[in-house]
Structure 1
Amino acid sequence: MVVGEFTTEVDVLVIGSGPGGYVAAIRAAQLGKNVTLVEREDLGGVCLNRGCIPSKALISVAHQYETAKHGMEKMGVFAEGVKLDFTRAQAYKNEVVKKLTGGVAGLLKGNNVTVLKGEALFVNENEVRVFDNYEVNRYRFNHCIIATGSRPIELKSLPFSKRVLSSTEALELPEVPKKLIVIGGGYIGVELGTAYAKLGAEVTILEGTDSILPGFEASLVQPVKKGLKANHVTVHTNALAKSVEETDSDVTVIADIKGVEQRLTADYVLVTVGRRPNTDNLGLDAIGVKLNERGYVVVDKQGRTNIPNIYAIGDIVAGPALAHKASYEGKVAAEAIAGLPSEVDYRAIPAVVFCDPEIASVGLTEEEAKKQGLKVKTGKFPFAANGRALSINQADGFVKVVAEEGTDVVLGVQIVGPAASNLIAEAGLAIEMGATLEDIALTIHAHPTLGEVTMEAAEVALGHGIHILSK
């Protein structure tokens, strides 16, 4: 039995409250729109509750634990009796999540966004039904922004179960497994694999291609491979997981590794082979919203679908599944609805991997620039020649700057090393504003800091590096 059905008029309806949806809702409200946000689960979406934030909290715990055990001996600091209380670590992670999701709720309320609990289903181009248990109500909108995110891909040969996990379950384990097999050497697999290895698990990564972190330059990945080896992580490339055998106490993966069948047994298997857009079960096909062959919503540069008053952002549209991309697209869509001439420009969207050491990249790589027919010059500077990096005992890696020959306009920056996730922001700004190598080189960077490495790399590209011998 369905209880009463009422129709409510709203100006802008946002479906999904992840980093795309809640940002879009707030921006639309700032622009004077009456906004209603529908969320079927938890405010903050996957990122805040089951992805970006909890994973980085556990990664931080793992880093602190590993540093306390082994990372300070070179500095003459010896810690005795270091132990891990994983229950408290999980409580810490949950506390971080609670603070952030509570903050999102406060921001939505402060911006007068109406929040509805339920699942939306399109009735027509201007109307949805919102289901919440046995209650259903109709909402008629002038504009709608769909921001329903994505979910982990489940392999037919490795269906999710008690011991075959997605990243969601891997973040909720009650104990650190003795052995963990990770299927997929992309950023999620490497991040969580590294974290659990530092926490004490024996980790094996199976990657189907010839290298972990496919899509990143080989030179960037090399220090990460070194870091994985230091943490006793076994990496098998050109490895295909074919099936699993599960018992109450363990799980065995049958895999083809470089043409040889092997059986690997562990406490758990973590499957991280990508994510699938949540575009099903919304009724999009019934109202004619156009999807591509992979199930992503087709949109223009303002996030507008083929139905002019319906927009889509984040993981359900083409491009990398990144929280900051979703937030950016959410602002653009909200501003487009408000009549502003905003549109997306992805030149300066960074990608970050929280491995050890961290990787960050923004703009074009040297290879990508050359494929576009551009003549380039590059500058590369190692953290090993940076005073701050040496002083904190994190000197692996480098910064590489790619610029156009002739104009010296910065086209891209790649970083592997300490705090790469923070250092990439300067590079993103440089690309966004059309800065040149000289702009970076002439910017006075505080000493001694890690940020100096970006300046030094620009100077190398200009041919007058100071703290490295020129070839």
Structure 2
Amino acid sequence: MHQYDLIVIGSGPAGRRAAIQAAKLEKKVLVVEQGRRVGGVSVHTGTIPSKTLRETALNLTGWRERGFYGRSYRVKQEIHADDLRRRLLITLDHEVEVLEHQFARNRVQQMRGKAHFIDPNTIEIQKTDGEVLRVTTASVLLAVGTRPYRPPHIPFDGQYVLDSDELLEIKDVPRSLIVVGAGVIGIEYATIFSTLDTQVTVVEPRETMLDFIDKEIVEDFAYQLRDRNMKLLFGQTVEKVERDAGQNKCRVTLKSGRSLQAEMVLFAAGRVGATDTLNLAAAGLEADNRGRLKVDPETFQTSVPHIYAAGDVVGFPSLASTSMEQGRIAARHAVGAPASEPPQYFPYGIYAVPEISTCGLSEEEVIQRGIPYETGIAHFRETSRGHIMGLDTGMLKMIFSLKTRRLLGVHIVGEGATELVHIGQAVLNLKGTVEYFVENTFNYPTLAEAYKIAGLDAWNRMGEGPKEAPVATGQSTDTTATAAPVEVVSEKKKAASK
């Protein structure tokens, strides 16, 4: 007999959701967390800290009010690192308290320490108090997350040359910052510090950024960043990073020969799975060159049937929201309970300034599939709510099939994008058409009115031409519009992993 039905290694979004789901099915569950407190990367160095930092920066700088009161308007004239950290600590305490209560309420056992495999069903745990013990389990879920990629040629010192984890511990807000990497994390932090009036330069070896986002949205986003004097250097590779203590500067030399200077350098060019201490070989597993594990996309099983993996450690999309759902599905499958398939369309949120959120197919993916389509666009400045809020930027774009008139994708850049996207997500998954947006009533004045404006824009371009009656089964006769979602994921995964 095994001591546990399920052992979960890691207590981030995937781990905690899996543990609670298995416990609700009356299974004996153990969560092993090597950090001082539960929550994983999401709570302590990733999702929650970065979003809290963003909100704090927007509030203290008065960023949202500058449309009315001018660019010099600030709520607090001098903003220090301690001002940013104060709200962060309060938020983290709350998140940990909620999670601890959830574990206690559902009778999930916890243990602090480092875990590794002895064999496929035996885990050895080196507890933080020094005790070493072995436990056996029927199933295992690996939800260890990722950590920043730290190449050996970058002289990280935790003070002037930092990774994204170390950035949360800075003592002063830099006057200038070079961000290496224009992925999601790099862009989020770059735009957050830009709101604090830090002079920001972004260096990216690719010719563009955020390749998995609709190109028109990225172009609008890049225009807004350059408009506020951020430098975006695409197609540039970092050759050397040096610290000049005498001038209190960091120097970044590019392969092109160009030299950049700033008070601080943030290296945010990728992350690697935290699997190197698990002794995967003893379980019959092997990670890829980035420490990630390959799983079945429907059950999240690894190549060893009773061992599962979920969350960032399995790669794209690496979102807290999708990680939670992956953990829940994996846990149900692991304990023999029926589990639904992962949703076909999920929202992707980028908490930059401004926000970006997307769901469904991009225009590039629609063209690649050969689907006849039309788009509708609304600018936030066209809405009364946008005027009230002082917005002069922000746009919402929807893509519709000309054959079935169904919504294929929704893409938003601007204030509240990560909230607004859920309206489009619901219509998308319920196979709604352009008529929903034209005929429906939205609260006035709201930013959600942009859906009606964009819907009317598309409807006017499409006309009332012939449209097919809905199929009784709820499935479209436009097979190109509902091609296997695996193709969507594979394209985005390919772009996101570059």
Q: Return the TM-score normalized by structure 2.
A: 0.86
Determine which of 415, 427, 431 is the counterpart of 1:430: 427
Unpaired segments ≥5 residues, structure 2: 464-498
Measured in 1, the distance between the counterparts of 2:356 and 2:323 equals 20
- Alignment-derived partner of residue 286 in structure 1: 282
- Alignment-derived partner of residue 49 in structure 1: 44
Determine which of 137, 143, 156 is the counterpart of 2:133: 137
SS of the aligned residue for 1:447 comes to coil
Deviates more, 1:89-98 or 1:214-223: 214-223
The one-letter amino acid of 1:271's match is F
TM-aligned CA distance change 1:90 to 1:284, over 3 Å: same
Question: Is contact 1:206–1:235 with CA below 8 Å preserved after alignment?
Answer: yes
Measured in 2, the distance between the counterparts of 1:82 and 1:320 equals 38
Determine which of 79, 90, 93 is the counterpart of 1:98: 93
Determine which of 259, 264, 285 is the counterpart of 1:263: 259
The one-letter amino acid of 2:428's match is I
Question: Is contact 1:304–1:311 with CA below 8 Å preserved after alignment?
Answer: yes
TM-superposed CA distance for 1:267, in Å, is: 1.9
SS of the aligned residue for 1:329 comes to helix
- Alignment-derived partner of residue 456 in structure 2: 459
- Alignment-derived partner of residue 3 in structure 1: none
- Alignment-derived partner of residue 440 in structure 2: 443
The one-letter amino acid of 2:362's match is T
Unpaired segments ≥5 residues, structure 1: 1-6, 467-471
Q: Does 1:87 align with 2:75?
A: no
Measured in 1, the distance between the counterparts of 2:216 and 2:139 equals 46
- Alignment-derived partner of residue 251 in structure 1: 250
- Alignment-derived partner of residue 22 in structure 2: 28
- State the Cα deviation string for residues 180-228 of structure 1 (Å, max 9, x = none): 1110112211211121122232211111122233332332123322332
- Alignment-derived partner of residue 492 in structure 2: none
Measured in 2, the distance between the counterparts of 1:166 and 1:431 equals 37
Measured in 2, the distance between the counterparts of 1:108 and 1:125 equals 26
- State the Cα deviation string for residues 121-163 of structure 1 (Å, max 9, x = none): 1111211001124311111111111100011111233242232
- Alignment-derived partner of residue 115 in structure 2: 120
Determine which of 377, 399, 415 is the counterpart of 1:380: 377
The one-letter amino acid of 2:435's match is E
- Alignment-derived partner of residue 480 in structure 2: none
- State the Cα deviation string for residues 395-416 of structure 1 (Å, max 9, x = none): 3121111222322222211111
Deviates more, 1:34-43 or 1:437-446: 437-446
TM-superposed CA distance for 1:49, in Å, is: 0.6
TM-aligned CA distance change 1:79 to 1:20, over 3 Å: closer
Question: Is contact 2:358–2:421 with CA below 8 Å preserved after alignment?
Answer: yes
TM-superposed CA distance for 1:272, in Å, is: 0.8
- Alignment-derived partner of residue 4 in structure 1: none
TM-superposed CA distance for 1:293, in Å, is: 5.6
- State the Cα deviation string for residues 20-40 of structure 1 (Å, max 9, x = none): 101111111112211110100
- Alignment-derived partner of residue 358 in structure 1: 355
- Alignment-derived partner of residue 184 in structure 2: 187
Measured in 2, the distance between the counterparts of 1:136 and 1:255 equals 48
- Alignment-derived partner of residue 150 in structure 2: 154
Measured in 2, the distance between the counterparts of 1:365 and 1:201 equals 32
TM-aligned CA distance change 1:184 to 1:77, over 3 Å: closer
Question: Is contact 2:358–2:410 with CA below 8 Å preserved after alignment?
Answer: yes
Determine which of 206, 214, 227 is the counterpart of 2:211: 214
Determine which of 405, 411, 414 is the counterpart of 1:414: 411
- State the Cα deviation string for residues 34-55 of structure 1 (Å, max 9, x = none): 1110100131111111011111
- Alignment-derived partner of residue 227 in structure 1: 224
Determine which of 100, 105, 111 is the counterpart of 1:110: 105
Question: Is contact 2:434–2:455 with CA below 8 Å preserved after alignment?
Answer: yes
- Alignment-derived partner of residue 12 in structure 1: 6
Q: Return the TM-score normalized by structure 1.
A: 0.90
The one-letter amino acid of 2:27's match is K
Measured in 2, the distance between the counterparts of 1:123 and 1:69 equals 54
- Alignment-derived partner of residue 65 in structure 1: 60
TM-aligned CA distance change 1:392 to 1:364, over 3 Å: same
TM-aligned CA distance change 1:393 to 1:428, over 3 Å: same
Measured in 2, the distance between the counterparts of 1:281 and 1:345 equals 29
TM-superposed CA distance for 1:68, in Å, is: 6.1
Measured in 2, the distance between the counterparts of 1:390 and 1:411 equals 29
Deviates more, 1:388-397 or 1:152-161: 152-161
TM-superposed CA distance for 1:294, in Å, is: 4.6
Deviates more, 1:313-322 or 1:138-147: 313-322
Q: Does 1:327 align with 2:321?
A: no
SS of the aligned residue for 1:154 comes to coil
Question: Is contact 2:60–2:75 with CA below 8 Å preserved after alignment?
Answer: no
Question: Is contact 1:347–1:431 with CA below 8 Å preserved after alignment?
Answer: no
The one-letter amino acid of 2:22's match is A
The one-letter amino acid of 2:277's match is N
**Alignment: residue pair count:** 457
Measured in 1, the distance between the counterparts of 2:289 and 2:372 equals 35
Measured in 2, the distance between the counterparts of 1:103 and 1:177 equals 33
Question: Is contact 1:50–1:171 with CA below 8 Å preserved after alignment?
Answer: yes
- Alignment-derived partner of residue 472 in structure 2: none
TM-superposed CA distance for 1:232, in Å, is: 2.7
Question: Is contact 1:298–1:305 with CA below 8 Å preserved after alignment?
Answer: yes
Measured in 2, the distance between the counterparts of 1:345 and 1:81 equals 45
